[in-house]
Structure 1
Amino acid sequence: MTRPASDAWDRLAQGNERFVGDRSEHPRQDASRRADLAEGQQPIAAVLGCSDSRVAAEVLFDQGLGDLFVIRNAGQIASSSAIASIEYAVAVLGVPLVVVLGHDRCGAVQAAIDAAGPDAPLLPPLIAAHIQAIRPAVEAAGTDPAAVGEAHLESTVASLLAASDLLSAAVADGSVDVVGANYRLAEGRVDRRFAVGDAT
């Protein structure tokens, strides 16, 4: 029997194929859908993505209102507010799938690389504190943005599971899967890089 997380990922993958092929359907975005959602929501997945204006999950997965519970910040950082939001999606909304979505040419990743240089200018304090979460990926992968982005994606998923007993328990009991994915800006394609759980 197909698990709900696999069903959810298949639906996202199919939507991304439509987007890549310039065949987006823009589903479930009409007045009837708005009315149906007025009393509640049942999204199929939670997505932790980057705030980059080019990486709007509902668009690149060709989904509609109420389909995705989206959390965004620069560099898809596993901040306390992001983790709490994911826990809400899992515990209250019952999503079976959490997607952590990185992308190429990420400004936050590049900022973390640049900040590690010996002559790097000082960043505003809040920005510097925010990109500290990417520094381990820079230390592990060097100065290649693609390699740092990949390492950061892996460490973000690991951080989510380490910081949230609720999420790690849901993964352990098979009720939730976590997928790490990367979006390619020019092609429009989302590549599934790895999964924790049974999502295909």
Structure 2
Amino acid sequence: MFVVAVIALVVAIWPRSQDATSEQVAPDPSVANVTDAPVPASQLAQARAQAKVADCPTSGLAQGVSSVLRGVSAPCLATGAAYDVGAGTAGKPLLINMWAVWCLPCRRELPVLQDYAKRAGDSVTVLTVHAVDGAKNPFLVLKFLTEIGVTLPTVLDTDARIAAALSAPKVFPSTILVRPDGTVAKVLPQVFENTDAIAAAVETNLGVRT
């Protein structure tokens, strides 16, 4: 329940987008101190064990020469180890979801993404990326995911390199669809309410029926 309290505190002081239909949230750097507070290693290990977040994907396929994620690394939430995002996701259609613990619409959308990942199977790689604001506190991210029952592979964008590579908007949640060659097919700054909507976006922009 302390996670709910922290999120409520952050959301209470977070400026919301004026677009009522999107319900998206824009970050405020002044809140970073709330979400980036460090925790002991023992607590972090326990949180990882409880969360059971999936390890970051490894496709084993060659990267496209034009891949926007080539050379981009970030911590994998499941292990804390550096993860080569471009190499790990190469050669397959990719859905990246940019989110954050302080984003209430993200809390609603992430379970839908998990359902979609099960539906898509091996056809589409689904990877979530926690935004830079709050990414330095994996403990809070793990507790948040545990609370909502989401185990999707997650990367922490601690230096905002992933967002920069994808030209991701600074509103959350946002979904970026990436072709197997690593080029961006579509940036979708919206909240997906069901798996059919995600599947339609994937088919339209990546040509994959799921």
Shorter-normalised TM-score: what interval?
Answer: under 0.3
Task: Give the structure-2-normalised TM-score.
Answer: 0.24
The structure number with the bigger radius of gyration is 1
